[in-house]
Amino acid sequence: MDLPERGALDLLPVIGPDRTETLRDGLRAAAKSLSGRTVWQINTTATGGGVAELSFSLLPYARGVGIDARWLVLAGDSRFVDVGKRLCLLLYGHEVAEPDEAGYAHYAEVCDEAAAHLAARLRPGDVVVLHDPQTAGMAPVLRRAGARVVWRCHIGSDLPTAAETWERLHPWLRAAELLVFSTRRHIPGPLRDSPVRVIPPSIDPLSPKNRDMDAAQATQLLGKVGLSVGISPLVAQISRWDVLKDMPGVMTAFRTALHASDAHLVLAGPDVTAIADDPGGAAVLRDCHARWLGLPRSERDRIHLISVPMSDPAENAAIVSALQRNATVVVQKSLAEGFGLTVTEAMWKARPVLASAVGGIADQIDDEHEGLLVTDPHDHAAVGRQLSRLLADPALAARLGTAARRRVHGDFLPDRHLLQWARAVRDLID
Ligand code: UDP
């Protein structure tokens, strides 16, 4: 994967001189510790979703300070992708069938083969960061090849579920020397005694998705996906078409609030054909579409389903940005979430966010101060009520949006994130 380079100084206008200097020092120290070693990141998709987004955000800063950071995508066949998706859903606490023995055996085979391939390119002491359960199976072979292996888990459940899945993954995870989670509440019981760190993600304020955009450009981008800026107020959820994002539930909740305002709803997600590791996306989009077709015309006119083109990543990011910026309220009604980048992206744009208090989202938003949280994501009426409240009270929406941006500035920009990684890597190898 071709990656650009970025320096701590690029962030100076956003984070100021003190934070920039701390970041520069931290990155330089990590580069010194790492000298001669490569840091490999492995996940299962180059586009779409938070893990790809994070790699695009963070790796350029590491490369900018001279760290040889590289990103590889493990592209398995459809059977492997299916097992990977199941593992993710299970670890999120979603009820789906556990992979069968043959599925696990296939998973192990693909991971072993990919790991052997990488091992041939490794130098002893290289650091390999394996993302999520799909790549966890690579750990033992890489460890035997002399790599320092970190497992980065972006997902999890607030309840102690998936004991069987964690047990199945355990022999692979034992080979990793460090496990990293986005939120403490997702560290499962059996791994509490392993070396674990909590490192919440961040967003890059300089990326095409998060940097400022003028109104004319936003209008033009919205036009590309068939929306006019005249459509206002606008409620939007922008997510992958994943069952756990509950796009149909957003539609249901929005309908309970229809009478209270003349708002429109946008459900937007990436073109489902473009995401390598998300096989269920097409079915979710079809389900949304079928429900939409069943609505009365007056409601259909106020609900817009949008597939955001993925062929040009910069344009995709800019369209997502334009949608987030133009939303009166951004919703993230996830049923489970490791850390919702979409939430932080919207908060950075000073949008009032209405989200479920699940997983990392509960850490991202201070309820009633930086956004609104709904405790039970299945409670559509409660989501509808909070939506009506936000739409009826622009002063509240503005106050939440201002506090939201301040929170992201303090806690969820790349300097904090990179420094935590720099410290973790140094502690691992020094
Ligand atoms: N996203 C995107 N295009 C889309 C929809 C979403 O680029 O059409 C991005 C979104 O802006 C965010 C990421 O995908 O950066 C989703 O990350 P998040 O942590 O919210 O959820 P995940 O998809 O990782 O479960």
Predicted confidence at residue 327, as pLDDT, reads 97
Same domain? 267 vs 197: no
CB burial of residue 337 (10 Å; 0-12, 13-18, 19+): buried
My answer on whether 405 and 421 are in the same domain is no
Q: How many domains does the chain have?
A: 2
In a domain, 304, yes or no: yes
CA of 73 to the centre of ligand 1 (A): 17
Cα 293 to ligand 1 centre (Å):
26
Please give the distance, rounded to the nearest whole angstrom, from the Cα atom of residue 383 to the centre of ligand 1. Answer: 21
Specify if 306 maps to a domain: yes
Cβ burial of 314 (10 Å; 0-12, 13-18, 19+) is exposed
Residue 147 — pLDDT band, cuts 50, 70, 90? Answer: very high
pLDDT band at 1 (very low <50, low <70, confident <90, very high): confident
Does 222 lie in the same domain as 131? no
Q: Is 320 in the pocket of ligand 1 (CB under 6 A)?
A: yes
* Rounded alpha-carbon distances, angstroms, from residue 402 to 215, 330, 399, 426: 19, 14, 5, 36
Q: Tell me what the mean pLDDT of segment 46-55 comes to.
A: 91
Say whether both 90 and 165 belong to one domain: yes
Q: Are 161 and 220 in the same domain?
A: no
Ligand 1, residues 55, 341, 412: which to mutate, most atoms within 8 A of Cβ? 341
**What number of helices (H) and strands (E) belong to the chain?**
17, 12
36 inside domain = yes
Q: Which residues does residue 72 pair with via DSSP β-bridges, in sequence order? A: 42
CA of 238 to the centre of ligand 1 (A): 7
Domain match, 272 and 403 both: yes
- For residue 313, what pLDDT band results from cuts at 50, 70 and 90? confident
Range of the domain at 27: 8-202+413-429
200 pLDDT higher than 80 = yes
Res 4: pLDDT: 85
Tell me the pLDDT band of 113, cut-offs 50, 70 and 90.
Answer: very high
Which residues contact residue 404 at a Cβ distance below 8 angstroms, ignoring those fewer than 6 apart? 346, 347, 348, 350, 351, 352, 353, 365, 370, 371
pLDDT value, residue 37: 97
Q: How far is the CA of 80 from the centre of ligand 1 (A)?
A: 22
Domain assignment present for 132: yes
**Mean pLDDT across the stretch 178-204?**
94
DSSP label of 273: G
Whether 274 has a pLDDT exceeding 90, the answer reads no
CB 419 within 8 A of CB 200: no
Looking at the predicted structure, is the pLDDT value of residue 277 above 80?
no
CA 36 to chain centre: 31
Q: Give the CATH number for residue 52.
A: 3.40.50.2000
Same structural domain for residues 354 and 423? Answer: no
Q: Any bridge partners for residue 331, and if so which?
A: 354
The reply to whether 187 and 219 lie within a common domain is no
Q: Which atom of ligand 1 is nearest to the CA of 332?
A: 20
Cβ–ligand 1 distance for 277 under 6 Å, the answer no
| Minimum CA distance residue for ligand 1 atom 11 | 342
Q: Answer whether 240 contacts ligand 1 (Cβ < 6 A).
A: yes
Helix axes 78-91, 163-173, angle to 10 degrees: 120
Within a domain: 207: no
| Structure confidence at residue 78 as a pLDDT band (50, 70, 90) | very high
**143 CA distance to ligand 1 middle (Å):** 31
Q: How far is the CA of 297 from the centre of ligand 1 (A)?
A: 30
Tell me, yes or no, whether 188 and 151 share the same domain: yes
Chain center to CA of 407: 18
233 cis-preceded (ω within 30 degrees of 0)? yes
**Residue of 239, 323, 343 to test ligand 1 pocket, by largest number of atoms within 8 Å of CB:** 239
Name the region of 96 (left: φ>0; alpha: ψ -120 to 50; beta: rest).
Answer: beta
Q: Which amino acid is at 213?
A: M
Ligand 1 site, residue 210, Cβ cutoff 6 A? no
Residue 210 lies in a domain: no
- Within its chain, how far is the Cα of 325 from the centroid? 18
Average pLDDT over residues 225-249: 93
- Report helix angle 78-91 to 101-119, nearest 10: 110
| pLDDT value of position 71 | 96
Place of tokens 């040889």: 68
Say whether both 164 and 290 belong to one domain.
Answer: no
Average pLDDT score over residue span 5-28: 97
What pLDDT score was predicted for residue 351? 98
Query: Does 320 share its domain with 417?
Result: no
Alpha helices in 201-327 (DSSP H): 215-224, 247-256, 281-293, 297-300, 313-326
Q: Same domain, yes or no, for 110 and 70?
A: yes
Question: What distance in Å separates the CA atoms of residue 90 and residue 208, rounded to the nearest whole number?
Answer: 33
CB 233 within 8 A of CB 351: no
> Ligand 1: which of 246, 320, 334 to mutate, most ligand atoms within 8 Å of CB?
320
Domain assignment of residue 251, yes or no: yes
- The rounded Å distance from CA 178 to ligand 1 centre is 26
Question: Does residue 289 sit within a domain?
Answer: yes
Task: Provide the 3-class DSSP secondary structure of residue 93.
Answer: coil
Could you tell me which of 205, 241, 210, 91 has the C-alpha nearest to residue 154?
91
For residue 100, what are its two tokens?
A: 């069968």
